[in-house]
């Protein structure tokens, strides 16, 4: 299985909140505000005995805000990822760098594209490719400059989490609503998506030796998905965050017209086109998270942890299992800690971990090597914020993964620069 002032003053305030450094207005009037934001980042990475200059998670985004009837604000956001250093990059060591499978060789690929309508009373409605509501909880540990985001269940199946809805959700409808209290703020978020991608199914030896089953196009798919998250930000000290999230997508793996091929010869030969099968299941992941502090890399201390459990949300590395047990259940955790000081808060040290292990006896019994999947990375980094829009960083990762973990996991030392728009 292989496998986004209630006229010009309101718009300006939305632009100011769009990113840490602030977005750049391109055009502004009493009716609309068009802005651009994003950043360019690249680093020299020494890993696996080799040193390469690598693309970071560079991206640029255009947004349009259009104040509408009453207190409604509407508009759109379109964001593209950029492989600016090399369009043929083959080393991906950060979850946020993940693209949809068909986009991985592209110099420019879509990260988000959605419409929105926001109202202070009725909440925020968003339609299109967007950050899933699951990310409302898991983003709190996804702050590393080079790696990270590998164990929270966000970037499912080695992708950007689009088909599952846990990361940059494809074709999704979402609603978010905040309530403010004297002691803090509570937010609930809901998400829905229908079919977003076909499943390519190939199962060997299902009808005897030298046979393969292929699911006909359109019969096997990622079906309806749902997501929910709830977060509470308490006004305690520098700020306390508590959150929980759940995401589920239906795996429709069934057909009355399965194709059986004889593979004993030089070319596959179709021997049955009405093979019936049903192995449908659910792909789900759940997460809880907490942090204390203002935000990552803000003055003072910031500490965040995330724990997740999942079913069929992780994908076995190629060649690691026998038979059809490619998806596996897992549990994992992530952490991110930073301390920032100095004039203009320019110095930061940070550290943390990503830890993901299989929790699936059937999958573990089918492994060719080892008895469990284990990804274990510990990070230590330093960042110097030259000014509001330029930062220089060094990041180290110490790998404790086993032989079953993906090939790109290893110790690394990286030095890089990020320039915000």
The per-residue pLDDT for range 90-147, each reduced to its tens digit, is 555 566 666 665 555 677 889 999 999 999 999 999 999 999 999 999 999 999 999 9
Domain hosting 157: range is 8-185+284-420
Average pLDDT (298-312) is: 97
User: Would residue 234 count as lying in a domain?
Assistant: no
Count helices and strands in the chain by DSSP H and E runs: 3, 23
Three-state DSSP class for 165? coil
Sign of the torsion formed by the C-alpha atoms of 86, 384, 98 and 325: positive
- Please report whether residue 274 resides in a domain: no
- CATH code, domain carrying 365: 2.40.160.10
* R_g of the chain computed on alpha carbons: 23
Residues 6+ apart with CB under 8 A from 416: 41, 42, 43, 44, 56, 145, 146, 392, 393, 394, 395
- The answer to whether residue 160 is domain-embedded is yes
Would you say residue 262 lies in a domain?
Answer: no
Q: What's the structural domain count of the chain?
A: 1
User: What residues contact residue 343 under an 8 Å CB cut-off, 6+ apart?
Assistant: none
Sign of torsion over alpha carbons 335, 340, 344, 347: negative
56 has pLDDT over 80: yes
Give the list of residues 6+ apart from residue 9 with CB closer than 8 angstroms, or none: none
Higher-scoring residue by pLDDT: 31, 40: 40
Of the spans 88-92, 279-283, 379-383, 384-388, which averages the highest pLDDT?
379-383
Q: In this predicted model, which residue has the larger pLDDT, 415 or 28?
A: 415
Grade residue 196 by pLDDT with cuts at 50, 70 and 90: low
The gap from C-alpha 233 to its chain's centroid, in whole angstroms, comes to 22
| Residue 70 φ/ψ region, left for φ over 0, alpha for ψ in the -120 to 50 degree band, beta for the rest | left
Structure tokens at 10: 């309101």
Whether residue 238 lies inside any domain: the answer is no
pLDDT over 70 at 1, yes or no: no
Residue 155, pLDDT above cutoff 80 = yes
Name which of 148, 92, 146 is nearest 334 in CA terms.
Answer: 148
- Residue pair 31/40 in contact (Cβ under 8 Å)? The answer is no
Output the CA–CA distances (angstroms, integers) from residue 82 to 87, 155, 289, 388, 412, in the order listed: 9, 18, 30, 22, 22
In a domain, 147, yes or no: yes
Count of Cβ atoms closer than 10 Å to residue 336 Cβ: 23
Whether the predicted pLDDT of 160 surpasses 70: yes
DSSP assigned state of 141: G
Residues 241 and 248: their CA atoms lie apart, in Å, by 24
Q: Is residue 343 part of a domain?
A: yes
Q: Is 125 helix (H, G, I), strand (E, B) or coil?
A: strand
Residue 99 belongs to a domain: yes
Three-state DSSP class for 36? Answer: strand
pLDDT band at 389 (very low <50, low <70, confident <90, very high): very high
pLDDT at 357 over 80: yes
pTM of the model: 0.88
Quick one: what percent of the chain has pLDDT higher than 90? 55
Predicted pLDDT at 94: 63
pLDDT given for residue 390 in this prediction = 95
pLDDT at 200: 78
């Amino acid at each position: 299985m292989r496998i986004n002032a209630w006229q010009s003053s309101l718009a300006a305030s939305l632009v100011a909140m769009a990113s840490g450094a602030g977005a750049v207005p391109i055009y502004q009037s009493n009716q609309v505000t068009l802005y651009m934001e994003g950043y360019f980042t690249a680093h020299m990475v020494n890993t696996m005995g080799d040193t390469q200059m690598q693309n970071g998670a560079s991206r640029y985004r255009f947004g349009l805000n259009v104040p509408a009837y009453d207190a409604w604000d509407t508009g759109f956001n379109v964001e593209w990822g950029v492989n600016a250093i090399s369009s043929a990059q083959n080393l991906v060591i950060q979850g946020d760098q993940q693209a949809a499978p068909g986009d991985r060789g592209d110099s420019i690929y879509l990260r988000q594209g959605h419409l929105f309508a926001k109202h202070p009373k009725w909440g925020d409605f968003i339609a299109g490719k967007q950050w899933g509501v699951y990310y409302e909880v898991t983003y709190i540990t996804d702050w590393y400059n080079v790696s990270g985001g590998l164990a929270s269940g966000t970037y499912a199946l080695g992708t950007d989490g689009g088909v599952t809805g846990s990361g940059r959700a494809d074709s999704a409808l979402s609603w978010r609503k905040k309530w403010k209290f004297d002691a803090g703020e509570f937010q609930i978020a809901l998400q829905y998506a229908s079919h977003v991608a076909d499943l390519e199914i190939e199962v060997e030896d299902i009808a005897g030796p030298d046979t393969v089953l292929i699911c006909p196009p359109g019969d096997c798919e990622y079906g309806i998905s749902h997501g929910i998250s709830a977060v509470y930000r308490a006004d305690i000290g520098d700020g306390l965050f508590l959150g929980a999230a759940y995401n589920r997508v239906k795996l429709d793996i069934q057909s009355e017209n399965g194709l059986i091929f004889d593979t004993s010869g030089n070319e596959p030969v179709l021997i049955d086109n009405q093979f019936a099968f049903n192995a449908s299941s659910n792909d789900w992941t759940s997460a809880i998270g907490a942090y204390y502090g203002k935000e990552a890399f803000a003055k003072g201390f910031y500490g965040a942890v995330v724990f997740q459990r999942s079913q069929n949300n992780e994908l076995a590395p190629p060649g690691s299992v026998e038979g059809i047990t490619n998806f596996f259940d897992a549990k994992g955790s992530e952490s991110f800690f930073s301390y920032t000081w100095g004039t203009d808060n320019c110095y930061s040290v940070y550290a943390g971990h990503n830890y993901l292990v299989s929790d699936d006896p059937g999958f573990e019994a089918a492994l060719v090597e080892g008895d469990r999947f284990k990804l274990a990375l510990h990070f230590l980094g330093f960042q110097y914020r030259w000014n509001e829009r330029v930062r220089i960083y060094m990041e180290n990762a110490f790998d404790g993964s086993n032989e079953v973990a993906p090939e790109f996991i290893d110790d690394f030392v990286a030095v890089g620069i990020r320039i915000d728009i």
